[in-house]
């Protein structure tokens, strides 16, 4: 039998009424899901050649980790991020030598560059002069209203947007402890919960008043925290209150191993509710991972058209009889290099559950007993030894890619119903 689970478990027949109830529930869930996935409409801003907000595609950003004044290193990192698929790259400009490097950097790269200005408004003015396509600013860090106004006016003249970024660590003026205590006390007395969120929202409102009083609306908002649940809460609140596009992110998320869970849970939840117009996943790891994981998140939520193959694989279990993890890793690397269209490829460890789980894949292999049965668009095409699986699978993917490119077939459209073979042995060739 394909699976003894199906034969040993008692089967309960559902009554007509139960079936109707289940169908109704599925319909309701689908409606809720579709409604939630409806993108929240916002104003649009233009960052170089990238539009953010409204119905523009959700863009993926990253930030360089090296020194901006080290021009060659900075350009090399921006190129690596661009090659990984970044739409926009941010650079820090803490010193004058950093803004001095910007014209040369901008001339050598193809993505819009955002200058991240922390404490000194002059760095913002220099960056605008240098030709950056956006400024990221936390007005609270600059402090002096006239200096903030000077940046707003310069951005207005240059017709570039500003991201107002509020982080949990810089939500109040750190130099003024008395002021911080007063702010905290007032929020604790007014709100029964979420004093930190309330404080951050209040800061955003306060900053927006400054910008709007100068008739400046070329704005993107962010409010980042480390706690995934709080990130969801605050962006839901921002989304309700303002129609400016939202830049989603989790601050100091940690290394990729744990930061990915933190970031994807927060950003995935928001995006699935239609909230968010541009994203940055931030890791204490190679910045290329931020871009790769951001793009994969959008792909998984069908918010971006996948470029290249989609690999699905089983987690493996005691039924496994091939070195599945190595096979999956080898297949992934080869697909990255060889396949440029979104072929769905499934690598399954056995013929027990694999066929059902791989249904819908354009190309699939079910391994077992040191062999692999390969399917293309639902048709079994080969039964090969373990050491031949990788090459044959790749050959089938490349052949399918050529056929798709010639217009002879279409991915995903052919109804694929893979019938599980009874056994790996036999005349499956």
Beta bridge partners of 345: 311, 363
The single residue among 84, 152, 196, 352 that binds ligand SF4, judged by CB under 6 A, is 352
Residue number closest to ligand SF4, CB atom: 349
The single residue among 316, 377, 383, 401 that binds ligand SF4, judged by CB under 6 A, is 316
* Residue 355 touching ligand SF4 (CB under 6 A): no
DSSP state of 359: T
Minimum distance from CB of 338 to ligand SF4 (Å)?
Answer: 25
Size of the site for ligand SF4 (CB under 6 A): 12
Comparing CB distances to ligand SF4, the nearer of 276 and 354 is 354
Q: Please give the torsion angle defined by the CA atoms of residues 243, 245, 247 and 248, in that order, rounded to the nearest 10 degrees.
A: 60
What residue has token string 């409204």?
54
Minimum distance from CB of 353 to ligand SF4 (Å)?
Answer: 4
Comparing CB distances to ligand SF4, the nearer of 6 and 107 is 6
DSSP state of 332: H
Beta bridge partners of 346: 312, 364
Interacting span for ligand SF4 (CB under 6 A) from 45-53, 114-122, 303-311, 349-357:
349-357
Comparing CB distances to ligand SF4, the nearer of 161 and 349 is 349
* Residue 348 touching ligand SF4 (CB under 6 A): yes
* Residue 317 touching ligand SF4 (CB under 6 A): yes
DSSP state of 341: S
DSSP state of 155: H
- Structure-block tokens of residue 368: 């077992």
Beta bridge partners of 46: 51
Dihedral sign of CA atoms 106, 110, 116, 121 in order = positive
Interacting span for ligand SF4 (CB under 6 A) from 7-15, 27-35, 53-61, 343-351:
343-351
The single residue among 52, 350, 363, 400 that binds ligand SF4, judged by CB under 6 A, is 350
Minimum distance from CB of 391 to ligand SF4 (Å)?
Answer: 22
Comparing CB distances to ligand SF4, the nearer of 62 and 353 is 353
What residue has token string 């400009």?
93
Interacting span for ligand SF4 (CB under 6 A) from 122-130, 200-208, 216-224, 311-319:
311-319
- Structure-block tokens of residue 391: 């090459």
The single residue among 259, 268, 349, 421 that binds ligand SF4, judged by CB under 6 A, is 349
DSSP-assigned letters across all residues of 213-277:
HTT---EEEEEE-S-HHHHHHHHHHHHHH--S-BEEE-TT--SHHHHHHHHHHHHHHHHHTT--S
Taking a C-beta distance cutoff of 8 angstroms, is the pair 400, 362 a contact?
A: yes
Comparing CB distances to ligand SF4, the nearer of 208 and 350 is 350
């Amino acid at each position: 039998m394909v699976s003894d689970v199906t034969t040993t478990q008692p089967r309960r027949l559902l009554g007509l009424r139960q079936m109707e109830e289940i169908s109704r529930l599925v319909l309701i869930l689908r409606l809720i899901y579709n409604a939630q996935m409806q993108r929240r409409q916002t104003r649009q801003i233009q960052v170089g050649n990238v539009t953010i907000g409204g119905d523009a595609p959700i863009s993926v950003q990253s930030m360089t980790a090296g020194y901006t004044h080290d021009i060659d290193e900075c350009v090399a990192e921006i190129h690596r991020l661009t090659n990984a698929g970044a739409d926009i790259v941010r650079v820090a400009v803490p010193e004058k030598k950093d803004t001095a490097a910007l014209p040369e950097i901008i001339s050598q790269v193809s993505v819009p560059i955002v200058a991240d200005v922390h404490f000194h408004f002059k760095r913002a003015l220099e960056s605008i002069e240098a030709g950056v396509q956006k400024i990221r600013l936390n007005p609270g860090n600059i402090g002096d209203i006239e200096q903030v106004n000077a940046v707003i006016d310069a951005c207005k003249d240059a017709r570039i947007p500003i991201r107002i970024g509020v982080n949990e660590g810089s939500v109040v003026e750190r130099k003024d402890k008395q002021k911080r205590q007063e702010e905290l006390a007032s929020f604790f007395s007014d709100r029964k919960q979420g004093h930190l969120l309330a404080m951050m929202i209040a800061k955003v409102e306060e900053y927006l008043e400054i910008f709007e009083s100068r008739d400046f609306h070329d704005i993107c908002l962010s409010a980042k925290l480390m706690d995934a649940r709080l990130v969801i809460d605050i962006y839901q609140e921002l989304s309700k209150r303002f129609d400016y596009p939202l830049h989603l992110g989790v601050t100091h998320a940690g290394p990729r191993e744990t930061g990915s869970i933190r970031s994807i849970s927060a950003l995935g939840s928001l995006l699935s509710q239609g909230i968010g117009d541009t994203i940055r996943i931030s890791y204490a790891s190679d910045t290329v991972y931020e871009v790769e994981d951001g793009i994969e998140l959008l792909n998984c939520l069908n918010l971006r058209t996948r470029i290249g193959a989609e690999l699905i694989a089983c987690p493996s279990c005691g039924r496994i009889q091939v070195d599945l993890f190595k096979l999956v890793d080898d297949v992934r690397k080869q697909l990255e290099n060889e396949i440029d269209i979104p072929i769905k490829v499934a690598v399954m460890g056995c013929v027990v559950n694999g066929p059902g789980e791989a249904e819908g894949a354009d190309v699939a292999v079910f391994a077992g007993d040191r062999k692999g049965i390969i399917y293309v668009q639902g048709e079994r095409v080969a039964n090969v030894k373990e050491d031949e699986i990788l090459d044959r699978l790749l050959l089938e993917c490349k052949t399918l890619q050529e056929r798709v490119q010639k217009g002879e077939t279409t991915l995903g459209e052919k109804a694929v119903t893979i019938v599980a073979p009874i056994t790996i042995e036999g005349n499956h060739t």
